[in-house]
Amino acid sequence: MSDNLVIVESPAKAKTIEKFLGKDYLVKSSFGHIRDLVKKGFGIDFEHGYQPQYVISEDKEKIVADLRKCSKTAKTIWLASDEDREGEAIAWHLQEVLKLAPEKTRRIVFHEITRDAILNAVQHPRSVNLDLVNAQQARRVLDRLVGFELSPILWRKIKASLSAGRVQSVAVRLIVDREREVLAFSAESFFKVAGTFLVDKTPVKADVSQKFGDEKLALDLLQKCASSTFTVASIEKKPAKRTPTAPFTTSTLQQEASRKLGFSVGQTMIVAQRLYEAGYITYMRTDSVNLSEQAIAAAKDAILKIYGEKYLHTRRYTTKSKGAQEAHEAIRPSYMDKPAIEAGSQEKRLYDLIWKRTIASQMSEAALERTVVTIDVSGAAEKFVASGEVILFDGFLKVYMESQDDESDSDSAGLLPPMREGQILQASSIVATERFTQRPPRYTEATLVKKLEELGIGRPSTYAPTISTVLNRGYVLKEDREGVVREYRQHTLANGKITEKILRENTGAEKSKLFPSDVGMVVTDYLVEHFPKVMDFSFTAKVEEEFDEIAEGKVVWNKMIDDFYQLFHQKVEDALQNSQRATAERKLGVDPKTGKDVIVRIGRFGPLAQIGGAEDDEKPQYANLQKGQLIENITLEEALKLFELPRTLGSYEGKTVTVSIGRFGPYVRHDEKFASLKRNVDDPMTVTLERAVELIEEKRKQEREKVIKTFAENEELQVLNGRYGPYLACAGVNYKIPKSAEPSALTYKQCVEIMEQQAGSTPRKSRFAKKAIGTKSVITKSAAAKSAKPKSAAKKKKS
């Protein structure tokens, strides 16, 4: 055995580190946290200062046993988990569980997985930082308290299976508040006047800066222009500079990857983690924009080599966000002289973004010249203004330009032709176009992260999990939605005549935007009413600051928890006893056919419309609300349309075909079988029989092609075709098939090997691995059942 045992939290990280340490070092992985709060009850000892009650995770018992065995024979144990609070907690748990002696235990941290960084860390070890551990424990305990106390209230007061969280509920509130702003918004129309002028046959576009709220005023200006002379009144040229943005933090990387690459926040973090563990980039959870001296020197060398000296301008950025740690670095490439890497497609694209942003941050400013030309109208007081911009020296723009979130459709300024003051211009056309004020934009994942960061809610490690949680629990929907057709008027002056057109445009279309569900809105309203402090943005930010103070050793963690919990628990008791059940019930009117009330409310499976009540002789009728419909703004007419379902479309193969909406969305029913309607394509209110038949046949084809292969050795093991390609399924667990393997040619032995390799990748796979694979590589279903009996009997005997 080796004298040195190095423990990291990830097998990929272990593999990379192994390359840099010699044969005297054994590198092992803990596969993340080895223990967590017990699942039964709160897992917190209230009588002894909120001490967490930890238990080793079931799927980590073998890993812990192996680490314990290795640690006993090693002379020195190096705890090399990540440098943040979560990583520090992993190191502490390892130290506690493995009972590591302080004199033989070393804690090492590094921002990047390179030879120099690893060897430098080994030269400068430290002990586990208990302040960082306590900050992590405080977050874990507080989140458990809030979640476990609030969730049962939601079950009793709204509907079953709901949950709440300290950060997730505040994030949902942001989306709910924005949705209500959008619903309350009423667009106001105004007119913009723009002219196209000819300068030596070159068209130049110029705008009147004033907006005309009255259509008549815009027409008056066009009539004056019909008999006016247009003269260049002034030409103003100004030098301008554009400065590069700072290197990436977690938040800015998530935002830019969303805008430029179309990555979700979670996807960005997964890909960044792979890059970090492979040694390509520095640690990806950081709120610092700082670059080390070595990194700046390496960037300087790369810029001089690739672009030349005139493109070099080194800078040192400082972090403005609260709680940021300047000792940490921004996200940057580990090796600045590598503009590209050999990796998967997603990894290549994200690395390219990180490399360009980092290099650009150390490059020269871009030099521009901005030109503003003012054009007088002889018969009117209004003036036209033409703007142009030319890049004199591209500087950092040669490599990188940051994207923007704003959804305006303004044109970027181009180059203007030469003009002189006093020059008379000919107007080829002047157009007054009706425009509309823009509603507040709905959040994307990226803009939500930006807002959370601005408010000080959460930290780099929490943004992605928070968004994943609210999406997975159905409080928020991430969707594309079609816009609506809107008419607008346009008046054009050309050749001395004014003409009018009525034009159409699509407006309000949304792509990958975040919408609150009805349940999300009801839960938010209930929590804001009964737990205003928990839902307060500034309070949530203050809690984050207190975590930072715990990490700095300024605040005792369990006192901070106690200060919060005593008041919070009183609110919980009061809400349980005194608050009313929240259904968001809203009466829309009366059904003209039955004369019964039509209401919308939250039902067992979500929002629904209802005709009649429980007190009526006849059973009430129910219909699920459709996508995009909300309890808050659905009309009586829209609700009554829902009861037109199920619709009978006709007959196919002698059997009736109907369309309806179920718990999981709209579907076609035929011969007791179901086929889902395509999202964003099919509407249950208008779908035809011909389209329904297409969906039925498509479903049949999928069913025929689903099973690629089965095995006599184990009836539960199958090679199947799925939505994302072929995969293995056994005992209710799915396994990826390697890209190099041909699914139809896989043997039983090869399938078992694949399952064995992936058995420990998740707790669920570990739990079912024994059943699916058995103690040997080949096992039948009956053998698995037999082998289970002695184990359960042994457990009974032991108890």
CA distance 422 to 364: 38
Question: What confidence tens digit (pLDDT) does each residue in 92-151 have?
Answer: 999 999 999 999 999 999 989 999 999 999 999 999 999 999 999 999 999 999 999 999
Residue 253 is predicted with a pLDDT of 96
Residue 626 is predicted with a pLDDT of 82
> What is the DSSP code string of 725-794?
EEEEEETTEEEEPPTTS-GGG--HHHHHHHHHHHTTSSHHHHHHHHHHH-SSS---HHHHHHHHHHHHHH
pLDDT at 783 over 60: no
- 307 a catalytic residue: no
pLDDT at 798 over 70: no
Higher pLDDT, residue 342 or 405: 342
Q: How far is CA 410 from CA 191, 397, 507, in A?
A: 15, 21, 16
Residue 662 is predicted with a pLDDT of 76
Question: What confidence tens digit (pLDDT) does each residue in 398-455 have?
Answer: 999 887 765 554 455 678 999 999 999 999 999 999 999 999 999 999 999 999 999 9
Supply the pTM of this predicted model: 0.81
Residue 604 is predicted with a pLDDT of 79
CB 154, CB 164: distance < 8 Å: yes
Burial category of 44 from C-beta neighbours within 10 Å (exposed 0-12, middle 13-18, buried 19 and up): buried
CA distance 477 to 365: 41
The helix/strand/coil state of 4 is strand
Q: Where are the beta strands (DSSP E) in 168-309?
A: 189-199, 202-208, 230-242
Nearest to 687 by CA among 704, 670, 711: 670
Question: What confidence tens digit (pLDDT) does each residue in 255-264 have?
Answer: 999 999 999 9
CA angle 453, 457, 459 (to 5 degrees): 70
Strand partners, 513: 479
Quick one: pLDDT band at residue 762, thresholds 50, 70, 90? low
List 50, 280, 283, 475, catalytic entry:
283
Question: What confidence tens digit (pLDDT) does each residue in 186-244 have?
Answer: 999 999 999 999 998 899 999 999 999 999 999 999 999 999 999 999 999 999 999 99
List, in sequence order, the alpha helices (H) in 501-622: 518-530, 537-551, 557-578
CB 511, CB 448: distance < 8 Å: no
The helix/strand/coil state of 108 is coil
Backbone angles phi, psi at 511, to 5 degrees: -130, 120
CB 639, CB 600: distance < 8 Å: yes
For 708, the token pair is 């690629």
Q: How far is CA 782 from CA 357, 410, 714, 787, in A?
A: 58, 69, 9, 9
For 185, the token pair is 């918004």
Residue 208 is predicted with a pLDDT of 96
Question: What confidence tens digit (pLDDT) does each residue in 706-748 have?
Answer: 889 999 888 889 999 887 789 999 988 899 998 888 999 999 9
